[in-house]
Chain A
Amino acid sequence: EAGVVQSPRYKIIEKKQPVAFWCNPISGHNTLYWYLQNLGQGPELLIRYENEEAVDDSQLPKDRFSAERLKGVDSTLKIQPAELGDSAVYLCASSLGRTGTDTQYFGPGTRLTVL
């Protein structure tokens, strides 16, 4: 069974440019997460979807970040415009259910460098 797929794996852009990340969760997983991982830190949740509904986006900087999960499957996370401080790894994860005991499966992440 395929795991969580993310693309691109690496992205280098100049500040003020837009950037988008794509995630395809494990088939059948209703819950999808986007996390931000800064260097030397653990992942921090940006947004959580249950099907196509964003149920927790309190940590998403809405002035520049946006996300969507059309049809409750694939998801896209966008930053516009990017700032130097956005350099980090962006992780996507999915789980079958939404409770704390459900295992989250992570993709390999997208490493963003903003110059």
Chain B
Amino acid sequence: GDSVTQMEGPVTLSEEAFLTINCTYTATGYPSLFWYVQYPGEGLQLLLKATKADDKGSNKGFEATYRKETTSFHLEKGSVQVSDSAVYFCALSSGNTPLVFGKGTRFSVIA
């Protein structure tokens, strides 16, 4: 079945550092890909998404490009802030199937 594998955390960076959180997937067909973020004490929020190969999703300075050839959707941000500290989930959905999530990556930024 469909699955998502993302890098294990926790990840800790200093402010203004460059962030990459790796995500690879296995799916039949052509899934849509998502990054969700969960801030402390809050529910999951959609951060960005891409629905076809080579699409780039972006939001709040974060970007991820749908790479069909490497089955990847890595999340990047050029300069992180303390407010970016959260748990990040990569997810996919094929057609009418429900979201399949990775295990999440806990990310912390130190000032």
Chain A residue numbers with a CB within 8 Å of B91 are: 42
User: Least Cβ distance of B108 to chain A in Å?
Assistant: 15
B98 sits at the interface (CB 8 A): yes
Stretch at the interface among A14-22, A66-74, A79-87, A101-109: A101-109
A103 near B46 with CB under 8 A, answer yes
List residues 89-115 of chain A with CB under 8 A from any CB of chain B: 91, 93, 98-101, 103-109
A106 near B43 with CB under 8 A, answer yes
With A42-B91, A93-B44, A99-B95 given, can you name 20 additional A-B contacts, CB distance below 8 Å? A4-B43, A33-B98, A41-B104, A42-B4, A42-B101, A43-B99, A43-B101, A91-B44, A100-B31, A100-B32, A100-B93, A100-B94, A100-B95, A100-B96, A100-B97, A103-B46, A104-B99, A105-B46, A108-B42, A109-B43
With A40-B104, A42-B102, A99-B96: A91-B32 Cβ-Cβ less than 8 Å = no
Chain A residue numbers with a CB within 8 Å of B89 are: 42-43
A to B CB contacts below 8 Å, 12 in the list: A43-B99, A43-B101, A48-B98, A56-B98, A93-B44, A100-B31, A101-B49, A101-B93, A104-B46, A104-B99, A106-B45, A108-B42
Chain A residue numbers with a CB within 8 Å of B101 are: 42-44
User: Least Cβ distance of A92 to chain B in Å?
Assistant: 9
A88 sits at the interface (CB 8 A): no
B103 sits at the interface (CB 8 A): yes
Chain B residue numbers with a CB within 8 Å of A48 are: 98
* Chain B contacts to A: CB under 8 angstroms: 4, 31-32, 36, 41-46, 49, 51, 89, 91, 93-99, 101-104
User: Least Cβ distance of A25 to chain B in Å?
Assistant: 13
The residue on B at minimum CB distance from A41 is B103
CA distance A108 to B55 in the complex (A): 30
The residue on A at minimum CB distance from B94 is A100
With A101-B51, A103-B49, A104-B99: A43-B93 Cβ-Cβ less than 8 Å = no
CA distance A103 to B49 in the complex (A): 9
CA distance A3 to B95 in the complex (A): 25
A45 sits at the interface (CB 8 A): yes
